[in-house]
Structure 1
Amino acid sequence: MTLLHTTRVRRRRLGVAAAAAGLLATLLTAGPAAATPDPGDTPAKGTISSEQAAEARSAIKSGEIPGVDEIVHSDNIEHLANIPKDALKGTNSDLAFQGTYAFSGNYDGFRIFDISNPKAPKTVAQVLCPGSQNDISVSGNLLFLSTDSSRSDNSCSSTTQPATEKSSWEGMKIFDISDKSNPRYVAAVETACGSHTHTIVPERRNVYVYVSSYSPNATFPDCQPPHDGISVIKVPRKSPEKSAIVNFPVLFPGEGPDGGGNPGSPTNPGVSKTTGCHDITVLPSKDLAAGACMGDGILFDIEDPEQPKVIDRVQDNVNFAFWHSATFNQKANKVVFTDELGGGGAATCNAEIGPNRGADGIYDIVGKGDRRKLVFRSYFKIDRPQAPTEVCVAHNGSIIPVKGRDLMVQAWYQGGVSVWDFTDSSKPKEIGYFERGPVTLAQVTTAGPWSAYYYNGYIYSNDIAKGLDVLKINDRRTDPAKRVRLDELNVQTQPDYFDRE
């Protein structure tokens, strides 16, 4: 374990740091094709000008941004531990939790940590199973892993293979984790266009898996346009080898080869064309789900998990480029949608981009039943500017469970970890943060927290480059959450926290 020294710098205002003007000009005029979400197997890299590098060095010297790899944080955040990457060298991705274990996705496979002592997590197992994303969830003795890169077969020893070949494989892998030190690969289900992310809807006998995937192509035999829906997999807990797709509900019905989602550019310049969903969050206690679907945000009913039904759909063709993820508040009367401007490959936390683009969108849910509507209230974006080499983007986060408040912790890649309050939907505000300075000042680099989640009194952050971080927040506004305990947490399957106290 490596416990890194923590320091503080003074609060900075958005607008102090330099903007990566040349990179962003290319990014924002290229249209949806530039908004490829999440880093690929090779992290994003790009050059900056000597003037931009000089401005970044000046900002570091003045204390306006942290130095290279320097750790800074607000007074109410403690950095307890960092566990660097080990056998799995790929991009770290999502996190899931069960009891005293944390499960960390990595583009090369997944890692299991014993977090019974959050100050000193220990590695229990590392499983090599390449397949980009490796989005991860757990339920009982089962672990689910998404593969969103074209592979030669469904094994963990597969190699890359073009999606134009019919024999190529992408989809869901399922492991038995009854022995945490020795996970067993037990089943696989191929899904159209792979599985970029997935969301589980657990039941007593079965687990339903909603598979989000997108970007079809007429040259891909297993990923044909318009692909305006999601794959629904039914997994029998006692016989996971019998897992199978039971439905492919179309969420964006429409005639023609492009379906009925957001058409993107040139109709809506700079907005991603909707060809599926990026991520879905379900709230089983309320039979609700929210989908972040490229150019659209949707609210749908999952009372029948095999037949999800869309209730409302919204677009933001002014400030949102790519609807990335969704989070409900505990009362299920709000949804936070994130915009992955630049697809996780550009520096977007700066004055040139501003506070409304590449931000979170906060929506109230008004009305009842099938007449419920998503009503926009405001944007939230971190106001701590980043160096022009730092890929910064709104990414995965979770609710911090406090009655009477809407609090959230969220990852922002090299923007770090932000804790913020959206109790007043129209006036969100940051109340704490943790971040590292740029990885380098030589080139644009993908790094920083992919996921930042609150679990049983602590914040766990999966840093793309640096490994697992454990944080603790000490603040009167968040302290009541320390009493809430869960047996299991998959953030995209939001629990009813207070029924479990």
Structure 2
Amino acid sequence: MCTALMLASACAAGPQASEESPAQPTTLQETSAPATASAAAGGVMKSDNVEHVAHAPRTAPFTGPDNINTDLAFQGDYAFVGNFGGFSIYDISDPTKPQIVSQVSCPAQQNDVTIYDNLLILSIDEPTGGPECDAARNERSWEGLRIFDVSDKKSPKYVGAVQTECGSHTHTMVPNQDSLYVYVSSPGPEPDSETCPAPHELIQIVEVPLSSPQSAKIVAKPNIFPERQHSEFASGCHDITAYPEKNLAAAACFGDGVLLDISDPVNPKVLQQLTDRENFQIWHSATFNNDGTKVVFGDELGGGGQATCDRNTPSTKGANAVYDLVNGKLEKRGYFKIPREQQPNENCVAHNGSLIPVPGKDIMVQAWYQGGVSIWDFTDSANPKEIGYFERGPVQGEIIAGSWSAYYYNGYIYSSDITEGLDVLELNDPLTDPAKKVTMDDFNVQTQKSY
């Protein structure tokens, strides 16, 4: 996400090709969706295998221009939706009729959210006056993690916080017996900052004791970079995806992609560092396939504020790169970018997505801001293809809009739309229908589990 506090120079730079690779017009391919796209009322476009089954608009107190929706997490019959104004809890026992259970006002960037047992954790990547939700926002002395008890979904309770250097842009949970380890990803440093001093070539690991979450604290600050990063925009990591069952994590760290051994969760070890200055500007996120034999890294070219899904931006930029894990090393195989050209006023780039649990196949759903929601198959790593999509037309008068996160959970796709609210989609396709037999108890995209 492109904000004043994160990658301002990247956003201002726009979708420029690197010096090593002059920009060439991309070839926009036809979608492999099984039916012709159809347009519905309100400018919605979709493939015929996707149904828009519910829409829950933002409601007060999260209706202001700065109250944009962010990330999603799930547990049982509930969806947890982050927002710059706080977070909302939805009852999704009937996915076609999501109902708000509660909303907590707790302003901050970005309020990316995770859920574990009765604990909800928010990432705060904006200096403010203190850890509490009502802290003065005109002061700039604190940023990090906020922790809530959501055992009563109708009345969440703030239980504590942990200050971290350069805040927390996103975070990753690694459960370990009686503790929850949280990997904090954050950009930095920021000159003359009280909360983000130089240098910043590290991640931070917070231990949250499940029996006393109020005593959470930083227990490690491992430097996971064997060499200095190559991004001129920021240091640190953007997202880290852990796969605890495989003792692996994949870190998207602005200038690099990093494969980690997390068999000791407090002491992650670098297995491999990837750099691709020709095609990637901002290593944004990572997703393992179910077998742990592939990693998809996404590039957020322009920081989310630019129109990069057009014929003037190469198809390898602002896209996904698919890597196969061969003999313990990642090898690049192919790229995927949505094949539908967007308008010059539509910010569009690869953003948050997750696997669709189809046994024997590698299929993802992914948000592309105003490019909408894309479903794509990377079973053939070298030849990934889109098999379905959903998107709205251009949002008038908005610089940042569209789908922030799109995740599959228990038979449905949930999209957190920045300005429009929560969308629920149903995918009906013989290729993906086996996923409907898979039931998850909870889902946090940056902590993968096998199915």
With normalisation by structure 2, the TM-score equals 0.90
Query: Where does structure 2 lack aligned partners over 5 or more consecutive residues?
Result: 13-35
Secondary structure of residue in 1 paired with 2:127: strand
1:64 is displaced (CA, Å) by 11
Match of 2:54 in 1: 81
| 1:326 is aligned to 2:286 | yes
Q: How many residues align?
A: 419
Which deviations, in whole Å up to 9, do the C-alpha atoms of 1:242-275 show, x marking residues without a partner? 1000000001245xxxxx121x35xxxxxx45x1
Match of 1:282 in 2: 242
Which deviations, in whole Å up to 9, do the C-alpha atoms of 1:98-139 show, x marking residues without a partner? 000000000110000000000000000000001111010000
Return the letter of the residue paired with 1:308: P
Secondary structure of residue in 1 paired with 2:338: coil
Match of 2:121 in 1: 144
CA distance in 1, matches of 2:252, 2:90: 29
| 1:183 is aligned to 2:151 | no
Alignment check: 8 A CA contact 1:65 1:385 kept: no
Return the letter of the residue paired with 2:9: A
RMSD between aligned alpha carbons?
A: 1.9
Which deviations, in whole Å up to 9, do the C-alpha atoms of 1:5-43 show, x marking residues without a partner? xxxxxxxxxxxxxxxxxxxxxx9xxxx753259xxxxxx
Return the letter of the residue paired with 1:396: N
Which structure has greater helix proportion?
A: 1
CA distance in 2, matches of 1:418, 1:136: 22
Equivalent runs, 1:218-367 vs 2, <5 Å = 218-253=191-226, 260-262=228-230, 264-265=231-232, 272-273=233-234, 275-367=235-327
Return the letter of the residue paired with 2:423: D
Which deviations, in whole Å up to 9, do the C-alpha atoms of 1:358-404 show, x marking residues without a partner? 1101111111xxxx211111110001011111111100000001111
Match of 1:34 in 2: 9
Percent identical among aligned pairs is 55
Match of 1:457 in 2: 411
- Of 354, 366, 386, which aligns to 1:410? 366
Return the letter of the residue paired with 1:312: Q
Alignment check: 8 A CA contact 2:378 2:384 kept: yes
CA distance in 2, matches of 1:278, 1:159: 26
Alignment check: 8 A CA contact 1:208 1:235 kept: yes
Alignment check: 8 A CA contact 2:37 2:45 kept: no
CA distance in 2, matches of 1:125, 1:205: 28
1:68 is displaced (CA, Å) by 10
| Closer, same or farther: CA 375–104 of 1 in aligned 2, 3 Å | same
Which deviations, in whole Å up to 9, do the C-alpha atoms of 1:123-170 show, x marking residues without a partner? 00000001111010000010000111110111111232364xxxx100
1:218 is displaced (CA, Å) by 3.6
Alignment check: 8 A CA contact 2:416 2:423 kept: yes
Return the letter of the residue paired with 1:148: D
Secondary structure of residue in 2 paired with 1:150: coil
Return the letter of the residue paired with 1:415: G
Match of 2:342 in 1: 386
Secondary structure of residue in 2 paired with 1:151: coil
Which deviations, in whole Å up to 9, do the C-alpha atoms of 1:55-84 show, x marking residues without a partner? xxxxxxxx9997995101001000000000
Query: Where does structure 1 lack aligned partners over 5 or more consecutive residues?
Result: 1-26, 38-62, 255-259, 266-271
